[in-house]
Structure 1
Amino acid sequence: MLKGVNWIAVLVAVVLLEALGYLWYGPLFGERWMAALGKEPDTSNLAVTMSLGVVNTIIIVLGLSWLLRRLGANSLNAALMGALAAWFFFDFTTMAIDYLYVRLSGELVLINMGYQLVAYLVAGAVIGLIKPKAA
């Protein structure tokens, strides 16, 4: 399954998504996100939480890379469309459950969904733009 993974693209995408997360949940939407969350996030084990977040991001980017390769998405446009479809069919619908059944606030869910949408598109763009070395 990991054969043919473009590790350079994965690494670049992971770094960009971590930076995006810092900006999204910090200067861009941090205050609104905290207000919508309704409580202070638990920062008692921040190093572990952040490390697990990076692992989660790696898994997402690897999965997206695998999916786009299986779809034959070899151009920027095809990678973006594949990433958008993956976000919509899997991430959007999964996060919608937080609103429908968990009853998280609409604003909180929209902030989180927005981050995920941009993250999938950035990762898709990186995967579509950085071509693997020829074997």
Structure 2
Amino acid sequence: MVTLMGINPLAVLVVAIISIVLGFLWYGPLFGKQWKRLMKFSEKDTKKVKVRKKSYLFMILGSLITSFVLAYMVIKFSANSFLLAADLGFTMWLGFIAPVMLGSVLWEGKPWSLYFLNVSFQLINLIVMAVVLSAW
């Protein structure tokens, strides 16, 4: 098996795909209507978003980077069980995602409900990613 710094590239790719699928489900069938309403997207805006191929490419790249860094952290902190990996995902979320995303409420005027919708996704996403990586 080929590795980079002890990281399995296939695991990184699979976990990035899982992250993208989770995002599709979260911001699509599960909470898409609420998200669009909270973002104040009109039907016209929604159609524009659907054709932004460049945005999707950047999100895929972002998911790959997150997956790689999280894989590194799983190895570095020996998060080799479900609980240790879930704890790592939670800790990364608590320390880096939740506080940084507060800026959208504090400085951009976004509603708290949008903040909670977005950070909830990030929490679930990071925990799932870390758990899958730990099982690899």
Is TM > 0.5 for Structure 1 vs Structure 2? yes
For residue 56 of structure 1, report the CA deviation from its aligned partner: 0.5
Cα distance in 2 between the residues matched to 1:58 and 1:103 = 30
- Contact 2:81 2:131 survives alignment (8 Å): no
Deviant stretches of 4+, over 6 Å: none
Aligned twin of 1:15:
17
Aligned residue pair count: 129
The yes-or-no answer on 1:109 pairing with 2:109 is: no
Paired residue for 2:68?
A: 62
Q: CA deviation at 1:45?
A: 4.8
Measure the CA separation in 1 of the matches of 2:99 and 2:72.
20
Separation (CA, whole Å) in 2 of partners of 1:107 and 1:52: 25
- TM superposition score normalised by structure 2: 0.87
Q: CA deviation at 1:8?
A: 2.5
C-alpha distance in 2, partners of 1:96/1:33? 17
Structure 2 residue ranges without an equivalent (≥5): none
- TM-score scaled to structure 1, two decimals? 0.88
Is 2:87 the partner of 1:85?
Answer: no
Q: What is the Cα-based RMSD across aligned positions, in Å? A: 1.5
> Any unmatched runs of 5+ in structure 1?
131-135
Higher relative contact order (Cα pairs below 8 Å, separated by 6+ residues): 1
Asked if 2 retains the 8 angstrom alpha-carbon contact of 1:24 and 1:115, the reply is yes
